[in-house]
Amino acid sequence: MSFELITIPCLSDNYAFLAHDATDGKTLLVDVPEAAPISKILEENCWRLTDILLTHHHQDHVEGLEELLKSHPARVIGAEADQHRLPDLDESVVEGDTISVGSNTGVVFDVSGHTIGHIAFYFEQSNLLFTADSLMALGCGRLFEGDAVQMWESLSKLKALNPDLTVCSGHEYTSENGRFAITIEPGNTALQSRILEITRKRSRKIPTVPSTLKEELETNPFLRPESAEIRDNLGMKNNTDAEVFAEIRKRKDKF
């Protein structure tokens, strides 16, 4: 059975995700920005938390873990490469490892770039991709630890997946990302329409996350370095995709 997914706003602009498998009552949580809103959803739905996946070590993705575990003990899983700075893990994973939660099996991707050791989780049966601060809605994470080549390699792995999947990313940055995206690809009609929809949603305080990979492929400039319009606007017609990506990231950092 596919997961039932709930998106949980946390802190000022973070998201956590609960995925529940009704077959055996197991429930997966991806990242723990804060405990209270997650506990509230678990208790309202009478769900038993069984597994917690940590995508990376940044405080706004793990700071609620200790408190949550007091009332909702669960198996904690994170990257082997990041375990020296993550909270205590019950299980460490590397790229290609699988994680079973009820009837769903997820595959681990190394998506280093935003941080070294950042991981994503793809549950093919439920068509869910948990990306946190790697691939984001209309954006990607800043390169705090990795470089542009590394991040482009990470995003390229995700770009090749099923376009119909749902991308569960870690922050409500979509409006700002859209304002930047339109400056380098103003002729993209899909992007124009998406920005209007984002504005409508945010005016009603509706989350813009999750999105679909298809949406990201059509509108997210960080997945579109091959776009002729972007290349023309950047003056990079003959550069590699990685070089164009690096320039896009550089411009977004200054935007």
Tens digit of each residue's pLDDT (9 = 90 or more) over 96-140: 999 999 899 999 999 999 999 999 999 999 999 999 999 999 999
**Is 87 a residue whose pLDDT tops 90?**
yes
What's the pLDDT tens digit per position in 19-58? 999 989 999 999 999 999 999 999 999 999 999 999 999 9
Residue holding tokens 């699988």? Answer: 98
Q: How far is CA 168 from CA 108, 135, 222, 246, in A?
A: 14, 9, 16, 24
pLDDT, residue 58, reads: 98
> Hey, where are the domains in the chain?
4-169, 174-254
Which pLDDT belongs to residue 201? Answer: 97
Q: Which of 59, 65, 1, 2 is nearest to 30 (CA)?
A: 65
Q: What is the pLDDT of residue 179?
A: 98
pLDDT for the residue 71: 96
Question: Are the beta carbons of 113 and 154 closer than 8 angstroms?
Answer: yes
Q: Mean pLDDT throughout 54-78?
A: 98
pLDDT value at 174 more than 90: yes
The three-class DSSP label of residue 144 is coil
How far apart CA 123 and CA 147 sit, in angstroms, is 27
Q: How many CA atoms lie within 13 A of 217 on its CB side?
A: 14
CATH second-level architecture of 4-169? 4-Layer Sandwich (3.60)
Say if residue 220's pLDDT is above 90. Answer: yes
Q: Token digits for 104?
A: 């769903």
- Arithmetic mean of pLDDT, 146-167: 98
> Cβ neighbours of residue 158 under 8 Å, at least 6 residues apart?
109, 111, 120, 129, 131, 134, 135, 213
Mean pLDDT of the chain: 97
**Phi, psi of 45, deg, nearest 5:** -95, -5
pLDDT band at 144 (very low <50, low <70, confident <90, very high): very high
According to DSSP H, which parts of 46-128 are helical? 59-62, 65-71
**Nearest one of 52, 41, 40, 60 to 77, comparing CA atoms:** 52
